[in-house]
Amino acid sequence: MTKYGFLGLGIMGNAMATNLVNAGLDVTVWNRTREKCAPLVVLGARQGNSPAEVTGQCDITFAMVSDPAAASSLCFDSEGVLEGITPGKGYIDVSTVDPATVLRIAGAVKNKGGRFLEAPVSGSKKPAEDGTLVFLCGGDETLYQDAQPALQLMGKKSFYFENVGQGAQMKLVINMIMGTMMTAFGEGLAVGDKAGLKIVDILDVLTQGAVDNPMFRLKGLQMVQKNFSPAFPLKHMQKDMRLALQLGDELGQSLFTTGAANNWYIKARKGGGANDDFSAVFKYIADQF
């Protein structure tokens, strides 16, 4: 039976690992703050003591951490992932990180004979819980095939691209569109509100038109209710916007709209909304607190 490892049990990682454990897979979990492992151990997971140990004991190890610095640290620190990699081991980083970081990790893993797959996800808390994430994979195709049982438990669909870094880039493209749509949405609702229109009416009209989408439906209602409990924390969306803008700068693509949106997220992050859902950017757009 394939042994799976899972490193990083935040909002996303916990939900994803739970789906693996509940399906009866052999899963060893690890998290920096050890207590977060307890609920999974109750469900049947093993407890790992370090990333190195988990990677060393498992065939395929997943990692889900919050940013490039954390992903690097997880891999390269003492007792980190790299120390557990031996020939044939599979390491799948499902975090969203910048291309440079993911290439560095991929190179180090391959250098020790391991197999590497980046697999950043599209989807946040609810899809993670429901096992309906979308995986954007780049790298070792044999690992992509071997990991199918786990990927299919955690997601509804996965895409495979040949090169490491393309998954991360695809993720950034998706999230920059999503993040900018959210500020466009917020600006529209805010100006409508100031004009005396009811936000629920605006939402109602939007559902009838060509731009109707699940995000507007779900987040729109939550924004009316001032419910900003985090499915996708604002600071993470802002990080993705920043990375997308850096990608555009590097490639010579002017991103005026995305750049403006990013500055709204920076304002919201600095203003106290870092850990709210990214839809909380609306409060800072509309000055409604």
Taking the least distance from each CB to a second copy, the nearer of 43 and 181 is: 181
> Which one of the spans 1-9, 27-35, 42-50, 281-289 is the region binding a second copy (CB under 8 A)?
281-289
Residue from 28, 31, 72, 122 that binds a second copy (CB under 8 A)?
Answer: 122
Catalytic residue check, 36: no
Token couple for 8: 């990083």
Does 136 sit near a second copy (CB under 8 A)? Answer: yes
Is residue 252 within the footprint of a second copy (CB under 8 A)?
yes
Binder among 218, 226, 229, 288 for a second copy (CB under 8 A): 218
Q: If binding is defined by CB under 8 A, does position 256 make contact with a second copy?
A: yes
Q: What are phi and psi of 97, to 5 degrees?
A: -130, 165
Residue among 1 and 251 whose Cβ is closer to a second copy: 251
Contacting residues for 181 by C-beta, under 8 A, at least 6 apart: 215
CB of 195 to a second copy, least distance (A): 5
- The answer to whether residue 100 forms part of the interface with a second copy (CB under 8 A) is no
Please choose, out of 1-9, 31-39, 101-109, 252-260, the segment that lies near a second copy by the rule CB under 8 A.
252-260
Report the relative pairing of strands 133-139 and 121-122 from DSSP bridges.
Answer: antiparallel
Q: How far is CA 228 from CA 168, 185, 200, 263, in A?
A: 27, 15, 17, 19
Site string for a second copy, 172-191 (x = CB under 8 A): -xx-xxx-xx-xxx-xxxxx
103 binds a second copy (CB under 8 A): no
- Closest approach, Cβ 115 to a second copy, in A, equals 22
DSSP string computed for 91-110: EEE-S---HHHHHHHHHHHH
CB of 28 to a second copy, least distance (A): 30
Does 58 contact a second copy by CB under 8 A? Answer: no
Locate 17 and state its tokens: 């690992």
Residues from 6 through 45 that contact a second copy (CB under 8 A): none
How far apart CA 267 and CA 169 sit, in angstroms, is: 25
How many residues in the shown chain lie near a second copy by CB under 8 A? Answer: 76
- Cβ at position 201, least distance to a second copy in Å: 6
CA–CA separation, 142 and 90 (whole Å): 9
Residue 209 within binding range of a second copy, rule CB under 8 A: yes
DSSP β-ladder status, 3-7 and 60-63: parallel
**Which of 165, 166, 169, 184 lies closest to 262 in space, CA to CA?**
184
3-state DSSP call for residue 66?
coil
CB of 216 to a second copy, least distance (A): 8
Outline where 136-195 has alpha helix (H). Answer: 141-146, 148-154, 166-194
CB neighbours of residue 289 within 10 Å: 8
Tokens at 176, concatenated: 């920059």
Q: Which of 50, 213, 222, 275 binds a second copy (CB under 8 A)?
A: 213
Which position among 89, 157, 171, 283 bears the catalytic label?
Answer: 171
Annotated active-site positions, please? 171
